[in-house]
Structure 1
């Protein structure tokens, strides 16, 4: 049987997507294996709080996402409607994972500002507007997007693609929100640096600014790549990669704070506010 050039190009694209998603799965599994000992210690010894429940959701929801996009890329999906339903389900959990990850950065910023109510209201109001707008844009975009399946037998998987301003508009909102969190954190970093008169690098590490910066860079990439390469078929991979990396960054930040909190307790240090609840160690900055 002869196939058209479009059929061959679609099948090739699906195969490349499958390889990329398998690489992401390997990376996520490797990260989990590397932190398994520390994570098991945290799950056994930490007290049950809302933040711990948020951690569990944020940390383990990507395993469900991995299963979903492996099903999308490695099982036969000749029916575009069935594929669209799976994409809708996957996208819903992807949005939940993204929201949970950002909640950690919001809580950390709130703690750095000594639980300032004005800062919290500002962040939550902005986050709510961003979430509602982004979710609406995303599912509108999916409903009007083009679903690709392979016409060549033996090539499984399906994907969706879209272009235009509507696609990366949600990432612009996310970028602006993350930029606000970075700005609020940098203000506290500068204040702490001036008062402590220590090394700036140490202050940046103490306030976890590099976790914020990584998330900001990923959002910038998801905004710029569709603009610079409008005909690329791999936007969704970048988006899914960001969702997974943000979950890793948020949970690693929390693990770091929890272990630091335990270390300070073991050293009989004075801790006014528990860092395992995303609060500053000294209760001031």
Structure 2
């Protein structure tokens, strides 16, 4: 009697999941390249043509801009290459997890600096933000370590199977998204309140409106994405393997 791993239904479902995973990674790669193309002129004029020297915030931008390409290439490799050994799959997926958490942390640092600037670089707020960042991102890195070490791979179920056969992963990944939501909610509150104070003080210029509108909308967008990821993990635990391979890349 064949085991469940050998049944046609299991193989068909596995093939569907693998195809969905590959489509998600490929679509994210297309969006990433498209975003890079339409914003490259701004990067040249504001970064590469700026001759006053690079600051550490510029270096953060470069990391935020180009780290997703490393992550995406890695994702395409472990989703579209035939006959990948299990050890190589483990290393590739672990790299995906760490590139995600490092990339998102860089993005959040940039947005936190922006929020701090809105509050006129208040020193007390700077100390609070540093403590807040450490309180959230310390556990977030620990969660990622637990998650990446929990990944389990099986050999390819059939000869033409493409990519890695990820079969199990710890659902603790939802904690990572929950921590991200906590941090985003805190920064969003600070940004919204700072905008309200600025507006009451007469700040109603086009630049003022753009900074707060774009900043608040961006954080709302990220908050909703994190909420969706948590909902998917809790409601459909089978798709935790897909989220292991498709974690949201840093946004420019």
Match of 2:236 among 220, 226, 229: 229
Shift of 1:213: 1.9
Separation (CA, whole Å) in 1 of partners of 2:160 and 2:12: 12
Partner of 2:181: 175
Match of 2:42 among 35, 38, 44: 38
Does the CA-based 8 Å contact 2:68-2:103 persist in structure 1? yes
Separation (CA, whole Å) in 1 of partners of 2:57 and 2:154: 40
Shift of 1:40: 1.4
Match of 1:68 among 68, 74, 81: 74
Shift of 1:174: 0.9
User: What do the CA deviations read for 1:162-220 (whole angstroms, capped 9, x no partner)?
Assistant: 354x2201111110011000001111111112222749x98553322222222222222
Q: Helix, strand or coil: the match of 2:201?
A: helix
> Counterparts of 1:1-285 in structure 2 under 5 Å?
4=7, 5-46=9-50, 47=52, 48-147=54-153, 150-158=156-164, 160=166, 161-162=168-169, 164=171, 166-196=172-202, 198=204, 204-207=209-212, 208-232=215-239, 233-236=241-244, 240=247, 242-244=248-250, 247-248=251-252
Q: Helix, strand or coil: the match of 1:31?
A: helix
User: What do the CA deviations read for 1:45-81 (whole angstroms, capped 9, x no partner)?
Assistant: 2231111111111101111111100111011244322
Provide closer, same or farther for how the CA distance between residues 61 and 159 of structure 1 changes in structure 2, counting only shifts above 3 A.
Answer: farther
Shift of 1:159: 5.3
User: What do the CA deviations read for 1:58-117 (whole angstroms, capped 9, x no partner)?
Assistant: 101111111100111011244322211111122222221111101111100111111111
Provide closer, same or farther for how the CA distance between residues 33 and 149 of structure 1 changes in structure 2, counting only shifts above 3 A.
Answer: farther
> Normalized against structure 2, the TM-score is what?
0.86
Q: Helix, strand or coil: the match of 1:58?
A: helix
User: What do the CA deviations read for 1:212-238 (whole angstroms, capped 9, x no partner)?
Assistant: 22222222222222223333353336x
> Normalized against structure 1, the TM-score is what?
0.77
Q: Helix, strand or coil: the match of 2:45?
A: helix
Provide closer, same or farther for how the CA distance between residues 69 and 98 of structure 1 changes in structure 2, counting only shifts above 3 A.
Answer: same
Partner of 1:263: none
Separation (CA, whole Å) in 1 of partners of 2:147 and 2:203: 50
Does the CA-based 8 Å contact 1:11-1:151 persist in structure 2? no
C-alpha RMSD over aligned residues: 2.3
Separation (CA, whole Å) in 1 of partners of 2:165 and 2:116: 39
Does the CA-based 8 Å contact 1:110-1:116 persist in structure 2? yes
Provide closer, same or farther for how the CA distance between residues 148 and 19 of structure 1 changes in structure 2, counting only shifts above 3 A.
Answer: farther
Structure 2: tracts of 5 or more residues without a match: 1-5
Separation (CA, whole Å) in 2 of partners of 1:95 and 1:197: 36
Provide closer, same or farther for how the CA distance between residues 12 and 190 of structure 1 changes in structure 2, counting only shifts above 3 A.
Answer: same
- How many aligned residue pairs are there? 240
